[in-house]
Amino acid sequence: MNTVMVTGADRGVGAALCGIFLEHGWTVIAGQYMPDWKQLAGMQEDYPEQLNTVKLDVGSTESVKKAFEKTTQMTEKIDLLINCAGIISNADTAETISKMFQVNTLGTLRMVETFQPLLEKGQKKIASISSEAGSISLSHRKDHFGYCMSKAALNMTVKLLYNELKPKGYRFYLYHPGWVKSYMLGEKSTTGDYEPEETALAAFEQFTAENEDALILKDVQGHYWSF
């Protein structure tokens, strides 16, 4: 059975990804940041054999290490790692920018480096949820410095990982989920083009297909975005 690990799995796109992979028979290890949020508990009732949760704050090295230890007790391999955990802040203070770098950018690096022993034994697929906000060439915003910089730096992180790990058989997916009615600002947004389930379905199709022999930022509709 294939195994996927999803970070930021509590709600929004992360939870929707868990749901779709469960429906397709995958074993899902859900990185849980908000234990009080009940969406994953509901899924666990429907898929008690397939869904495992593990406490995970990708912004903390200690938490990622603990999650790795716990995950090794659940599975011998991870076929696909989906780095979905992300935060946004409308404020651009040194503190909020730092936090966004910790989670949005370094979260992926922590996860890949720490979980590599399990990834080595699987299909060696790594997917990261990026954003058009990280495209420097197409940047159009006049604010949200922290979010845009953290997503651009995420793209660079994935590029460096790609340079190192592609020769070892790894495949990488960079995904722009579109404008999602997400929980990024706390409450579920009432505006957006896509429900989390819609963009998660498109992501599932991309992440389970063979991809290009290149690192490309691809969106929910399959369109390519330049860096």
Write out the residues near another protein by the rule CB under 8 A.
61, 92, 94, 97-98, 101-102, 105-106, 109-110, 113-114, 134, 136-137, 139-145, 148-150, 152-153, 155-157, 159-160, 163-164, 226-227
46 versus 224: smaller Cβ distance to another protein: 224
136 versus 185: smaller Cβ distance to another protein: 136
The nearest distance, CB 216 to another protein, in angstroms, is: 11
What's the order of all strands across the beta sheet hosting 171-176?
51-55, 27-32, 3-6, 80-83, 125-129, 171-176, 217-219, 224-225
* Residue pair 18/9 in contact by the 8 Å Cβ criterion: yes
The nearest distance, CB 156 to another protein, in angstroms, is: 4
The nearest distance, CB 113 to another protein, in angstroms, is: 5
Give the count of beta carbons closer than 10 Å to the beta carbon of residue 111: 25
28 versus 215: smaller Cβ distance to another protein: 215
The nearest distance, CB 95 to another protein, in angstroms, is: 8
164 versus 205: smaller Cβ distance to another protein: 164
Distances (CA, A) of 201 to 49, 58, 62, 126, 206: 22, 24, 32, 17, 9
CA distance 170 to 201: 22
110 versus 124: smaller Cβ distance to another protein: 110
